[in-house]
Structure formats: C-alpha cells, structure tokens
Amino acid sequence: MNKPYVIGIAGGSGSGKTFFLKCFLEHFTADEVSLVSQDDYYHPVGHTMTKEENKLYNFDLPSTIDHEHFESDIFKLLNNESFQKLEYTFNNTDAKPKLLEIKPAPIIIVEGLFILHFEKIAEVLDMTIFIDADEEIALQRRLKRDLYERGYSHEDVHYKWVNHVVPAYKEYLLPHRDNCDMIVLNNTQNAADIIKITDEISQELRETVLGDVS
C-alpha cells in the first residue's frame, strides 16, 4: 500500500469544522477515507470535577490532549494498521461512548484545534485546510452547541469563550492560519457554499490521489 495522503483540517471553535467535514466525507466511501479526530484524545478529567471546577477548567489548551496517543494512532494508520478508540463524550453523562474502529485508507483526515501546533502531526500532513469564521458568528455557533448538546449554561459558555476559547485561538491556531494550503472563511448560513468547496476539493483528490479520472 502506498503512503496515505494526509489532510489536516484545523479551525477555531464555532468555525464550522464539523459541517465542513460532514460535507467532505459524503464524497468518499469508508474504504477511501479514514478520520482521526483530536476530540477523542482529551485526557479524561471531567468526570471527577464538580460543576464549578468544570466551568473553570480550560479545555482549550494543548496540554488537555493526550498528544502522544493521538500521534501514535495516526502513525498506525500510516503503517497500514487499524486501531480502536473510545470516543470522548465531553462529560455528558447521558451519552454512552462508542468504541470506534479506525482503519487505514488511501486518504486520512486528521482534524482538531491543535493539529498544526503538534509538530509530529503537522510534519505528516500533505494538505492543510483552515476553517475560519468571524468571532461573533463563531460564538453564536458555540452557544447553540454547548447549550443544547453539552448541557452548559449560557453563563458558562460566555465565561469559557472569553477566558479560554479566544485566547487559545490567538495563541495556538491563528499563527498557523496563513501557512495553510487553503483557508475557508465559513460565515455563511448557506450550506450550498460549503458543499461547493468540498465538491471541488474532493474531485481534485479523486483524480490525484485515488486515480479516478471518470
């Protein structure tokens, strides 16, 4: 098997990475693409915290990620090895984590906040895509997600945004943005705009990586 083509997708909280990935993955079969998400590599600390401790704990730092495990699993895929990983449920006690089986594929997608910050990961990326959005739009998306999906209060979301999210973005993500192969400004509420971009990227990958010229 030839070396897989590794795509890194980074971007701040609320930038729309999840929707971009969803659109992107719809262009490929499970045999053609493999996804490794940084979100599944948080150090497990939330279940031991009180509500107040959880509010104050800064999840938006590279140190909250078990980057050695993250790197090790990425290199397993590069060596044509599968692995299993328990998904991270963001302290949602109602969510039962799934056991994920990640298999090697010609295209590997690595996504997360700090993938460009972790040098060993950044070095293996063949293509880098940075998803960005204006701060107010990103905040509204974060509010919607954390209020309804993760059970945080409005106050907690704002506290984390001001004290954790924005400072981390400026220190650990923004310095890498202009070095990426592609910057996608995702302020739109029109899904067709993102779908069009993923159509173009996936078509190029089909031709250059998968050899599909049909």
Task: Check: CB of residue 104 under 8 Å from CB of residue 82.
Answer: yes
User: pLDDT at position 44, please?
Assistant: 79
What CA–CA distance (Å, rounded) separates 99 from 84?
7
Mean pLDDT for 134-149 is 84
Q: Which of 43, 26, 45, 34 is nearest to 73 (CA)?
A: 34
Domains defined for the chain, CATH in brackets: 5-208 (3.40.50.300)
Diameter over CA atoms, the chain: 56
Name the region of 81 (left: φ>0; alpha: ψ -120 to 50; beta: rest): beta
User: pLDDT at position 155, please?
Assistant: 86
Res 208 pLDDT > 60: yes
Q: Using the 8-state DSSP alphabet, how is residue 42 labeled?
A: B
What CA–CA distance (Å, rounded) separates 19 from 52?
31
User: pLDDT at position 102, please?
Assistant: 95
Beta strands in 16-61 (DSSP E): 33-37
Q: What is the pLDDT of residues 32-54, one digit of tens each?
A: 999 999 999 998 775 666 767 77
Task: Check: CB of residue 102 under 8 Å from CB of residue 71.
Answer: no
User: pLDDT at position 135, please?
Assistant: 93
- Which phi and psi (to 5°) does residue 137 adopt? -65, -40
Q: What is the mean pLDDT of the chain?
A: 89
For residue 128, what pLDDT band results from cuts at 50, 70 and 90? Answer: very high
Residues β-bridged to residue 5:
107
For residue 157, what pLDDT band results from cuts at 50, 70 and 90? Answer: confident
Res 203 pLDDT > 70: yes
Task: Check: CB of residue 115 under 8 Å from CB of residue 10.
Answer: yes
User: pLDDT at position 94, please?
Assistant: 63
Residues β-bridged to residue 165:
none
| Local structure of 123: helix, strand or coil | coil
User: pLDDT at position 138, please?
Assistant: 93
| Local structure of 177: helix, strand or coil | helix
pLDDT, greater one: 64 or 50: 64
User: pLDDT at position 45, please?
Assistant: 73
Number of H helices, E strands in the chain: 9, 7
Residues β-bridged to residue 131:
11, 184
Find the Cα–Cα–Cα–Cα dihedral 10, 173, 116, 212, rounded to 10°: 30
